[in-house]
Amino acid sequence: MRHARRRIVRRVARLAAVGGLLVGGTMVTRAVATEPPDTSAAPHTLTRSAPGGGAALVSRLGASRTAGHWIGADGRPVVAVTDEAGADEVRRAGAAARFVRHSLSELESATATLRAAPRVPGTAWSLDYRSNEVVVRGDSTVSRADWSRLTGVAEGIGGFVRMERAEGTFTTRLNGAEPILSTAGRCSAGFNVTDGQRDFILTAGHCGPTGSVWFGDRGGDRQVGKTVAGSFPGDDFSLVEYANGEAGDGAGVVAVGGGKGVRITGAGEAAVGQRVFRSGSTSGLRDGRVTALDATVNYPEGTVTGLIETDVCAEPGDSGGPMFSEGVALGVTSGGNGDCDNGGTTFFQPLSEAMASLGVRLLAAEREGAGPGAAAPSSPAAAGGGGGAAPGAAAPVTGVSGSTLLSRLTDRRNVGPGMLVVGGSLAALVATRWIRGEQERKAYRRHYSATWG
């Protein structure tokens, strides 16, 4: 009976090992045949390539035949068109077409009329491509008389101008504490850039005028750098030159709080509907979507145009912080209304426009192989709050080089799990064969020992 049980156990073990080999081989085959998972830095979205397609189509067809583009729920670009020929061209390019009444030229003409009207602080307007309207908002500081006058201007333009009242106030997001401080107050570092000879922090222009000196601590013992160029109002960007001229190791990483960071691999243009992330020294990492482009905001300090409008929240002190998607840098925080408890609207200065005006390029990280231990440039403040590439934040990269061997092996989309199953099955098969051989040798010795005896 005992020998019979042993034979059954051995057979079951061999069958299990053979089954494991088959399952593991199937897992490896599927992993190899499937496109490998995206290895860029987290956080991830699903709209990496969509913005360029829509923008290219709008540029090719022109402002009189289109009315903007956005990213649809399925991740495909959607282009607003005004004629059938344009719709056919959009479809041939693989994008979706939506017919609209008003062209981009008409929408832009409406915003030009609004800019020409008497300035009303606390108002903002933007192009809503999906509704084919110009949306005008007024915050709680706008008086009834001013709102009535602006409504009259909108009615004179046409029925495609929508008027809305907004909660709170439209303000620049400046405050008076860490992580980078000057006499003007607190801001968040944005992205590291260079002119080929010196390195800079690109942040918001309203944070401080040219000549502002920035520190990484309240005591003013650690100087970060000095503002050497910028534009505000009109635009909202500035350059802070590093005190020693260099951004240091990990210049292409932005801190997102909790000692973590995201590798920035390039710069791009935002698209309506795109999921984006923002990091700031007050509220840390937040996400949302781009809701409109070419926004104009009448801050108390002055009017800023050409901004990216989003539903991402922000709070005082987040000014200048980076906005990105899939490791692609898009803009720096300008201002908005609301907070991260109740939500609100936040506007961003497009990064490409700022870099072109300042004559600098992004200091980007390698998409792979940046090396272990890469960190954002130095400043302890960002590690706690999450402001951009804030000076002094130790921010381990969360991309490929920052992943552990265990996470690679256990990711079912990689070949690791299949190889583990195959290896374990082979080991079990060898073990059963070895055990059987040992038992047969012992039986052989017992037989001849009894014969000799």
Instruction: List the catalytic residues.
Output: 206, 236, 319
Element (H, E) at 242: strand 237-242
Q: Is 164 exposed, middle or buried (0-12, 13-18, 19+ CB in 10 A)?
A: exposed
Q: What does the block give as tokens for 370?
A: 């940046």
In sequence order, what are the residues at sequence separation of 6 or more whose Cβ sits closer than 8 angstroms to the Cβ of residue 205? 230, 231, 232, 235, 236, 237, 238, 349
Sheet containing 96-99: order of strands: 66-71, 77-81, 96-99
Nearest-CA neighbor of 102 among 75, 77, 80, 74? 80
In sequence order, what are the residues at sequence separation of 6 or more whose Cβ sits closer than 8 angstroms to the Cβ of residue 451? none
Q: How far apart are CA 200 and CA 176, in angstroms?
A: 22
Q: How far apart are CA 391 and CA 289, in angstroms?
A: 27
Reduced DSSP (H G I as helix, E B as strand, rest coil) percent helix, strand, coil of the chain, to 5: 30, 30, 40
**Other Cβ atoms closer than 10 A to 71:** 23
